[in-house]
Amino acid sequence: MAIPLSNFLRSLFLVMGCLMVGTLVYTIYVDGFPFRRDLLTPWMIATVVDFYINVIAVAAWISYKESNFITATIWILLLICFGSITTCVYIFIQFLKLSPEESMQDPVYHVLLRHESKGVEQKMKRSAVMSARIAFGALGFLMLGTLIYTLLTDGSPFRKELLTPWMVATLIDFYINVVALSVWVSYKESSWISGFLWILLLICFGSITTCAYVVKQLARLTSQDPVYLILFNRGNRQLPELFVHGRAENRVRVYRFLLSVKILTPATVWRFTVMVVIDGYQNPRFFSLACPMCASPHVALLFTSVPGL
């Protein structure tokens, strides 16, 4: 029997988190604390810069995911201090929060998606796409410049003397975050070939590839789109922006839908259909929306696109 994707990823991040904790404890035991000047070799500095640019990408997702500013700040501070340990713990917790239905139906999408606080409508911030492009473009060029400068001044990184205990620990920390980013890339890419190539580039060039990939995804958005849409693949991109607690977002196009309502009571079943107009559902598809206000009788809503109306 095949292992569900959600169970596999949850186990994967649990194992990687434990691996990094063990690596950290062992390295402190055999080589002391890392806050020493002798550790700051040119390639160690380049690796740390590479590491923290990837951390910025993960932190951007956490800041979107967490609806509470204080909670988001705490998680980001933990991410800065403990690196991939925090990444693994955070993702593991998100998988634990999934319902059985979400675990079976595209778990990566539901982990990426922001869940609003119950009863509190959160305003979707439409961050400037151009600003995000400039920021990640600048980070990519920063890492590229760091890489070229370190190669010119300190030579090749493939030397045995560079593999100090803390360099090895930093590389493990770095590549665990690369695994997390690779899961996102494989979810985003519809073709396994393009997904494989991007992951290979991510392994070889680290945060340079991260920044290039993010800028590429941002280039597909218009200036009016919210930046968080780059998290989702094309099939799921419209769903998180369509409803915020039942309220339609204002978009550009208008489509007509049939709204079928079925009211269930112990005695009878009532059905009726009305014509409704919803602004801006840019990729019509079948979907259902539970009514949060109704306990009994239960109301089920099904929107169906009507071509040519």
Tens of pLDDT, residue by residue over 282-298, are 333 333 344 333 333 33
Is the CB of residue 303 less than 8 Å from the CB of residue 291?
no
Q: Is residue 270 scored above 80 in pLDDT?
A: no
- Amino acid present at 67: S
Q: Cβ-count burial of 146 within 10 angstroms (0-12 exposed, 13-18 middle, 19+ buried)?
A: buried
pLDDT in tens, 195-211: 999 999 999 999 999 99
Query: For residues 174-203, b (16+ Cβ closer than 10 Å) or e, as one string?
Result: bbbbbbbbbbbbebbbeeeeebeebbebbe
Token reading at 224? 């009016």
Is the CB of residue 113 less than 8 Å from the CB of residue 240?
yes
Q: Which residue, among 270, 263, 264, 256, has the nearest Cα to 303 in the 3D structure? A: 256
Is the CB of residue 230 less than 8 Å from the CB of residue 214?
yes
pLDDT in tens, 141-161: 999 999 999 999 999 999 999
Is the CB of residue 165 less than 8 Å from the CB of residue 172?
no
**Helix-helix angle 165-188:84-96, to 10 degrees:** 40
List, in order, residues 6 or more apart from 231 with CB less than 8 Å away. 61, 64, 112, 184
- Amino acid present at 48: V
The pTM of this model reads 0.75
pLDDT recorded at residue 287: 38
Q: Which spans in 83-206 are helix H?
A: 84-96, 100-104, 107-112, 129-154, 165-188, 192-205
Angstrom distance (rounded) from CA 139 to CA 298: 51
Distances from the Cα of 168 to the Cαs of 87, 103, 115, 151, 255, in angstroms? 19, 35, 37, 19, 56
pLDDT recorded at residue 291: 39
Dihedrals phi, psi of 24, to nearest 5 degrees: -65, -45
Q: Is residue 46 scored above 70 in pLDDT?
A: yes
pLDDT in tens, 89-139: 999 999 999 998 898 888 999 999 986 643 333 444 555 799 999 999 999
Band of pLDDT at residue 31, cut at 50, 70 and 90: very high
Angstrom distance (rounded) from CA 8 to CA 200: 21
List, in order, residues 6 or more apart from 124 with CB less than 8 Å away. 226, 241, 244, 249
pLDDT recorded at residue 263: 44
Q: Angle CA(26)–CA(27)–CA(28) in degrees, nearest 5?
A: 95
Element (H, E) at 304: strand 298-305
